[in-house]
Chain A
Amino acid sequence: MASALSSLRYGDSLSVVAISGATAVLCEAISWLLIYRTATYNSLRATIERHSRKLDAMKAGSSNSSSGAGAASGSSSQPAGSSSSRAKKMDRVETSLKDASRELSFAKLKSGAVVAAVLFVVFGLLNSLFEGRAVAKLPFAPVPLVQRMSHRGIPGNDPTDCSMVFLYFLCSISIRTNLQKLFGFAPPRAAAAAGGGLFPMPDTKVN
């Protein structure tokens, strides 16, 4: 196999992909060990999903009631107070959702630090192995901003020469994202949509 790889001009690209894939699996395993299997993470995730479903149901209900109220404007059977109470309920659920998202982000800090350390070591290893040479040939000339990464450390002016950094970046994003999706470790969409994070902006609706 080594001879087959060496016969290929850009056989190093397969090595980069293999190491990136193995690193992605290792990082997900570390994340699973440190955070995904804990009760705290699972309960936070369930809370976020529950609040998200509740919020979606409330939004759907309020849109239906507003369209119904518009159609039957003569009858004033629905007092104005109920709509304000519904809005307050939605605000409360949204706040709970943001709080849960923030706690989830905080809970993932520990594994995030370990994963970052692993990625740093692997990147250093790859850099030492493949520095200064093109590991692949790009089938297009990237824009100058991307060329800073794709042509990093490579002699010459051919923009289609691909450095390890760019290939590693492509591998990391594509493999890790899909691995997380496949194993169910992807963060809840509601957490990302809530936009809480560790340092949320102050809620302008709260006086």
Chain B
Amino acid sequence: MSGTFQGDICKITTNHSIHTTTRRLFCCATRSHLSAAGRLGNPPAAATAAEMRKTKPSSKQSRGSQAQQQQNGHSKLARYFDPEASWDKDQLLDAVHWIRQVLGLACGLLWGAVPLVGAVWIALFLAISTGFVYLYYAYLLKIDEEDFGGHGALLQEGMFASFTLFLLSWTLIYSLVHF
């Protein structure tokens, strides 16, 4: 697990799950704020003293840190669609898991609202979910699946949880809206 800080952009390579990545982004954003204080004309010694004394940042610095955090948030989201981004196995499997959960919830809400009735729509959901995940890692990210455990590992990640979430949301919306 490593995190390097290069200027304003934090490059994070980590083997932990998304919540750890989020924590490290926050730490990097904090470090970038302190580094920005140095680049705004304060001498290094004063910047170090500012770090140690933890003085309240000026409004310009807080706006800069907010912009930095927004940029980090956007870059984090953009990373999931960037074929040039480097992926760790756990990171990719986590991304696939959450994509499946979102798909399961969305399909369940939609199927229940229309409503779509019948077991055949379960097959449609499974096809959509599997196809979407396959298109994501094969065509959007363009990764070599052998480096990440093969098609099986990628396609089955998060499948059962997303299937139960789909059934739950489908059943709930169908029962509450149409009866």
Contact = CB atoms under 8 A, between A and B. Distances in A.
Interface of A: 8-11, 13-14, 17, 49, 53, 56, 60, 136-142, 162, 167, 169-171, 173-174, 177-178, 181-184, 186, 189
Which one of B19, B164, B171 has the greatest number of beta carbons of chain A within 10 Å? Answer: B171
Contacts of B101: 178
B118 A139 contact: yes
B154 interface: no
B164 A174 contact: yes
Contacts of B179: 8-10, 137
Given A140-B118, A178-B101, A184 B19 contact: yes
Interface string B76-100: 0000000000000110011001100
A139 B15 contact: no
Contact of B172 (A13, A60, A184, A186): A13
Interface of B: prevailing SS: helix
Contacts of B176: 8, 10-11, 13-14
A189 B90 CA distance: 8
Contacts of A178: 101, 161, 165
B160 interface: yes
Given A10-B176, A56-B89, A140-B118, A167 B171 contact: yes
A170 B175 CA distance: 15
Which one of A140, A183, A184 has the greatest number of beta carbons of chain B within 10 Å? Answer: A140
A167 B170 CA distance: 11
Which one of A8, A13, A53, A139 has the greatest number of beta carbons of chain B within 10 Å? Answer: A139
Interface of B: 15-17, 19-20, 89-90, 93-94, 97-98, 101, 104, 111-112, 115-119, 121-122, 147, 160-161, 164-165, 167-168, 170-172, 174-176, 178-179
Which one of B98, B117, B118, B147 has the greatest number of beta carbons of chain A within 10 Å? Answer: B117
A138 B20 CA distance: 38
A184 B175 contact: no
A9 B178 CA distance: 10
Given A9-B179, A178-B101, A137 B16 contact: no
A138 B121 CA distance: 13
Given A13-B175, A137-B174, A170-B168, 10 more contacts: A139-B115, A139-B170, A140-B119, A167-B171, A173-B161, A174-B161, A181-B17, A181-B97, A184-B19, A186-B17
Contacts of A173: 160-161, 164
A35 to B, nearest CB: 18
B94 to A, nearest CB: 7
